[in-house]
Amino acid sequence: MTEYNGIWEYYARAKRLFYIEEYGGDESDYNDYGIVKTEVDSKCLQSYSVIGDLIQDDWRDIVIQTKPEHLDSIYASIKVDGSFSIRDMFKAMGSGDLKSYRSENGQMIENSEDDELLDKLSSQAKSEDLSIMLMSVVYVIHRIVNQIRNLQKDNDNKEYFQSLLLRIQNILDMDLYNEYMSAHQELKDKEQTNDHNDE
Clarify whether residues 60 and 112 are in a common domain.
yes
Clarify whether residues 65 and 79 are in a common domain.
yes
Q: Is 8 exposed, middle or buried (0-12, 13-18, 19+ CB in 10 A)?
A: buried
Q: Model confidence at 151, in pLDDT bands (50, 70, 90)?
A: very high
CA pair distance 134, 121, nearest whole angstrom: 20
Clarify whether residues 161 and 67 are in a common domain.
yes
pLDDT mean over 89-93: 67
pLDDT of 100 above 80: no
Clarify whether residues 55 and 33 are in a common domain.
no
Q: Model confidence at 178, in pLDDT bands (50, 70, 90)?
A: confident
Q: Is 71 exposed, middle or buried (0-12, 13-18, 19+ CB in 10 A)?
A: middle
Clarify whether residues 139 and 80 are in a common domain.
yes
pLDDT the model gives residue 185: 84
- Average pLDDT of every residue of the chain: 82
pLDDT of 1 above 70: no
Domain extent at residue 95:
49-198
Instruction: Give me the number of domains the chain comprises.
Output: 2
pLDDT: which is higher, 98 or 128: 128
pLDDT the model gives residue 147: 92
Residues 6+ apart with CB under 8 A from 44: 16
Clarify whether residues 106 and 137 are in a common domain.
yes
Beta bridge partners of 36: 30
pLDDT the model gives residue 20: 92
Question: What is the helix (H) or strand (E) element at residue 35, kind and residue range?
Answer: none
Clarify whether residues 107 and 127 are in a common domain.
yes
DSSP annotation of 36:
B
DSSP, residue by residue, 48-101: GSHHHHHS-TTS--HHHH--GGGGHHHHHHHHHHHH--HHHHHHHTT--PPP-E
